[in-house]
Structure 1
Amino acid sequence: MKRKLAMATIALLIANFMGGLDATIVNTALPVIISDLNGIRLVGWVSSVFLLGTAITTVLWGRIGETIGNKRAFQISTFLFIGSSVIAGLSNSMVMLIVARAVMGIGTGGMVSIPFIIYADIYPNAAQRARALGWVTASYTLSTVRGPIIGGWLVDQFTWHWIFFINLPIGIISMLLLQWAYQDTKRQRERQAFDYAGAAVLALALILLLFAGDALAVSVLRAVLLLLAGIILLAAFWHVEGRATNPLIPHQLITAWPVQAQNLIMFLINGFFIGYSVYAPMWAQGILGTNATFGGLTQIAGSLMLLIGTRLTAHLMTKLGYKTIVLVGTTSLLISALAMVIATKNAPYWWLLISGAFEGFGMGLSFTPMQVSIQDGVEKELVSVSTTFGLLFRTLGETFLASIFGAVLSLSTTRQVATAGHGITTNMINHLSDSATAKGLDPALLPQLRTILFNGIHTIMIIGLVLIIIAFLINIRRREPKPAAR
């Protein structure tokens, strides 16, 4: 029994590793892909459609798992991921690649969310589940650190196509291990109809809201209109769910503030997390003038402290209240955000590392107790949807804020360049953010260019600080969900 439990956990960790690997390995190969497929105009869609597919299907997979079984849902989603990975590897045009990435995102929505439901099933004890979730975080962190190295090696030794082909053997191993080691818990209940109307309205609402953030850099009016349309559809979704016999997200879950407060906290702290992850390397290269390797190393301290935080959480959860642990975690995140806000343009490289260490430690302490709580704080029949709903908030936090941060940097740069003079252009800022192309810039203009980039990134860090302050205050005011009877 213990052996099968270990094998089932390993199978799910392999899938988690594969999902995290994809998050970084594709970015490493994008310059080569753009060159090979002449895809500079459509490059943004390679990541956008993947995140979009993941976001709009996360909750859907939870309900699909309830209908056909979590093991089968996991295997179908993994098959979609590895099948579309092969198509992506065979792509001979950007359109073909983008379509494949959209399907990969749909598969990822189930491949990374269904395991959390299975963990709740095979680890009913909260402390044991916390240890398992610590391994989940560790495997994901390891994959994101290894991703650029593996991606660079595959591109250099073979071709960019192999960054997608590598998913095939990994995915097959995960599916076969789970097939042998895990059996779905049989539920003695009547099968109910799937909420197609609710799924369609929610998917459309999320699509509009995600595009609203992306449109901010192009047209504020367009962004506002998309935002309003998305909000109207969310209101329609509430109405549809109230009349559904088997709602996608029941009203009783949405209105359970002790649970949803934690989802809101995860939305906010993951927004800051993506801001640091994307712009700390850019700060190192564009403002401090380091090379790409040192830019990537800004994430190492955070990754190591994330591992320490998650491993420590499993022990703390047997001694402290979950809310107290999250308070320590959000305090650590607050220190990280403050460090980035008070940093000047001449702040040393090690300052970024210290900020990253506090950021990683805070994320490690915050995620696990909230993930366990949103499962244990609801009735058994709501565990699946509560789990995937929480993961949806994490994904949306990263996706929304990534779009908003990109728009903020674009608007800030455009405004400053317009008044800079000396022949400075936005294209120079683009070159400045990459150490390889920054070498071709006029040395006399570097101080002013770095000031422009610093002002934009600094604004992003201020927004990140506001997000963490709000999360910190919500955690102080919220009530801890009471464990539901099982």
Structure 2
Amino acid sequence: MIDNTKRTADSRWLALVVLCTGMMMIILDQTIVNVALPAIRTDLGFGQAGLAWIVNAYLIAFGGLLLLAGRLGDLIGHKRVFVLGLVVFTVASLLCGLATSPGTLIGARFVQGVGGALATSVTLGMIVRMFPEPGERAKAIGVFSFVSAAGASIGLLLGGVLTQLLNWHWIFFVNIPVGVVAVLAAVRLVPGAPGIGLGKGADVVGAVLITSSVMLGVYTIVEVETHGWVSAHTLVLGALAIALLGGFAVRQAKAANPLLPLRVLRSRNVVGANGTQILLVAGMLGMFFLGALYMQLVLGYDAMEVGLAFLPLAVSIGTLSVGFSARLNARFGEPRVLLAGMALILVGLLMFTRAPADGDYVRHLLPVVLPLGIGFGMASPALTTLAMSGATPGDAGLASGLVNTTMQVGGALGLAVLATTSTSRTTALLAEGVPTAQALTSGFHLAFGISATLVALAAVVAVTVIRPIPATAGAPLPVAVG
């Protein structure tokens, strides 16, 4: 006789594999493109300014739509939004691979961002609903955190392999078979539910305000390197983005069916975890990309060597996220594990500020990537659990979209701040006659120091705002079936 309980449990873990496959495809795409940019520029005739929009078009669509897409999942069903996102992302990947002009590629990348936002925004919400028991949920979030954190470093390695062995078109074509399989598997294996209905939260005005605010904010941040922090372009658009955000807040306080119910923000842990995440991701993601540049421009690594250099980081994150994070959280509590992880990250970043221009991997880089990987493998699952701890079944998609939105905004902000300060320091030193390798290294050291400061500020927010999850927060949520 078949044990239906065991079969249901097994199907949930298979569904988690499907969700993480879709997430991995989307996260890989965010870094795999960076390795191929020189080849794309040569083949399609991009100018330097236009080349940046291959990345920016995706970021603006992705970051701007996450919150709206998460709420849409609550209203019409998480599974529907997830599958729709995978379909849009896969079709857009085909269009990217077939692109023969800069305009076509940039437009397809924007559509890719839309699909990525739809699929990513509801993933955490589905995980929370599928795994209501705290122990299982912690393990599932650990797997999700590994995919989210390690996918970026794997993308660098895969991007180098595909670009060098085939051509840049294949960094997009590789998504097609993965996307097709993920869609078919999601339809078959991922649990679905109808959602709470459009009448419960179809706040069109609020949707326009928040989407416009986040898109404009991300656009302003990614253009800082071109225009500067105190330029009229940055100040005017930044002020407009803040004004739109203020209008959204006023709207949510008055709307009968708000897009972002204010009850979600009454949780200290939701607010504290998302605030911590903005600062932590700003420090980590900026370091990640500038660390890759340090390896390429100063140490002379090629694309595959950069990916291999970061591989211990990915392995460390995977080992902690999948194997030990759930046990650590259960034994010591998420806030303590989060702080311990951030302390290790801080150690790694401070060590990175000492990496010399003639650095050796074993002596100068491995002691950096290991504490970063172990620290993030501890911190990320704990932070995600805290951010989702206040989610009700009807708000799970919204909370998931909020987590991903703060991650994207934090990443864009950190990259803008660190890239501009690093470039300014390097430019000033070159003007003084400092050799290129030393000037670049000094600029990177400044950026890594700022990364460490951001992580330290994240720890301050965590200590002052976040509290241990009460036992009632682990009460089971209803699990959708069918």
Question: Above 0.5 in TM-score?
Answer: yes
Aligned partners of 1:205 and 1:230 also within 8 Å: yes
- Residue 80 (structure 1) aligned with residue 88 (structure 2): yes
Aligned partners of 1:413 and 1:453 also within 8 Å: yes
Change (3 A) 1:167 1:232: same
Aligned partners of 2:59 and 2:218 also within 8 Å: no
CA offset digits 1:290-349 (Å, max 9, x no partner): 555443333122112111221211111221211111111111111112212344545543
Structure 2 segments unaligned to the other structure (5+ residues): 1-7, 478-482
Return the alpha-carbon distance in structure 2 between the equivalents of residues 105 and 190 of structure 1.
24
* Letter matched to residue 233 of structure 1: L
State which of 422, 427, 448 in structure 2 corresponds to 1:461. 448
Match of 2:20 in 1: 13
Helix, strand or coil for the counterpart of 1:317?
A: helix
* Structure 1 residue 357: Cα displacement: 1.2
**Structure with larger RCO (C-alpha < 8 A, sep 6+):** 2
Match of 2:462 in 1: 475
Aligned partners of 1:267 and 1:396 also within 8 Å: yes
Return the alpha-carbon distance in structure 2 between the equivalents of residues 404 and 371 of structure 1.
24
* Structure 1 residue 76: Cα displacement: 0.8
* Structure 1 residue 180: Cα displacement: 1.3
Aligned partners of 2:282 and 2:451 also within 8 Å: yes
Change (3 A) 1:404 1:183: same
TM-score, normalised to structure 2, is 0.89
Aligned partners of 1:337 and 1:468 also within 8 Å: no
Helix, strand or coil for the counterpart of 2:99?
A: coil
Match of 2:177 in 1: 169
Match of 1:316 in 2: 328
Match of 1:251 in 2: 262
* Letter matched to residue 296 of structure 1: G
Change (3 A) 1:144 1:232: closer
Match of 1:367 in 2: 380
Aligned partners of 1:20 and 1:143 also within 8 Å: yes
Aligned partners of 1:210 and 1:399 also within 8 Å: yes
Change (3 A) 1:378 1:367: same
CA offset digits 1:233-259 (Å, max 9, x no partner): 211111111122221212222343332
CA offset digits 1:163-188 (Å, max 9, x no partner): 22221221121111121123324567
Return the alpha-carbon distance in structure 2 between the equivalents of residues 456 and 261 of structure 1.
31
CA offset digits 1:103-162 (Å, max 9, x no partner): 101111122221211111111112212212222234455644443444344445544323
* Structure 1 residue 93: Cα displacement: 0.4
Change (3 A) 1:287 1:150: closer
Change (3 A) 1:462 1:67: same
Structure 1 segments unaligned to the other structure (5+ residues): 421-446
Match of 1:355 in 2: 368
Match of 2:429 in 1: 416
* Structure 1 residue 404: Cα displacement: 2.0
* Letter matched to residue 300 of structure 1: L
State which of 93, 96, 109 in structure 1 corresponds to 2:101. 93
Aligned partners of 2:77 and 2:195 also within 8 Å: no
- Residue 106 (structure 1) aligned with residue 114 (structure 2): yes
Compute the RMSD of aligned alpha carbons.
Answer: 2.3
Aligned partners of 1:49 and 1:101 also within 8 Å: yes
Return the alpha-carbon distance in structure 2 between the equivalents of residues 476 and 236 of structure 1.
31
Aligned partners of 2:296 and 2:306 also within 8 Å: yes
Mean CA deviation greater in 21-30 or 342-351: 342-351
Match of 2:54 in 1: 46
Match of 1:33 in 2: 40
Aligned partners of 1:57 and 1:109 also within 8 Å: yes
Change (3 A) 1:23 1:338: same
Return the alpha-carbon distance in structure 2 between the equivalents of residues 151 and 288 of structure 1.
19
* Letter matched to residue 61 of structure 1: A
CA offset digits 1:177-230 (Å, max 9, x no partner): 121123324567783252221121112222332233234332322323322222
* Letter matched to residue 405 of structure 1: L
- Residue 120 (structure 1) aligned with residue 115 (structure 2): no
Match of 1:303 in 2: 314
What is the number of residues matched between the two proteins? 460
Return the alpha-carbon distance in structure 2 between the equivalents of residues 165 and 341 of structure 1.
38
State which of 241, 245, 266 in structure 2 corresponds to 1:234. 245
Match of 2:204 in 1: 196
CA offset digits 1:400-422 (Å, max 9, x no partner): 211222222232233333343xx
Mean CA deviation greater in 76-85 or 216-225: 216-225
Return the alpha-carbon distance in structure 2 between the equivalents of residues 289 and 9 of structure 1.
39
Return the alpha-carbon distance in structure 2 between the equivalents of residues 471 and 227 of structure 1.
23
* Structure 1 residue 288: Cα displacement: 3.8
Match of 1:70 in 2: 78
Q: Which structure 2 residues correspond to residues 260-339 of structure 1 after superposition, within 5 A?
A: 260-310=271-321, 311-339=323-351
Match of 1:442 in 2: none
Aligned partners of 2:160 and 2:304 also within 8 Å: no
Change (3 A) 1:357 1:68: same
* Letter matched to residue 253 of structure 1: V
CA offset digits 1:20-76 (Å, max 9, x no partner): 221232223222221111013311000111111111111111111122211111111
Return the alpha-carbon distance in structure 1 between the equivalents of residues 215 and 190 of structure 2.
34
Aligned partners of 1:8 and 1:182 also within 8 Å: yes
CA offset digits 1:266-309 (Å, max 9, x no partner): 11111111122112222233334455544333312211211122
Return the alpha-carbon distance in structure 1 between the equivalents of residues 195 and 89 of structure 2.
28
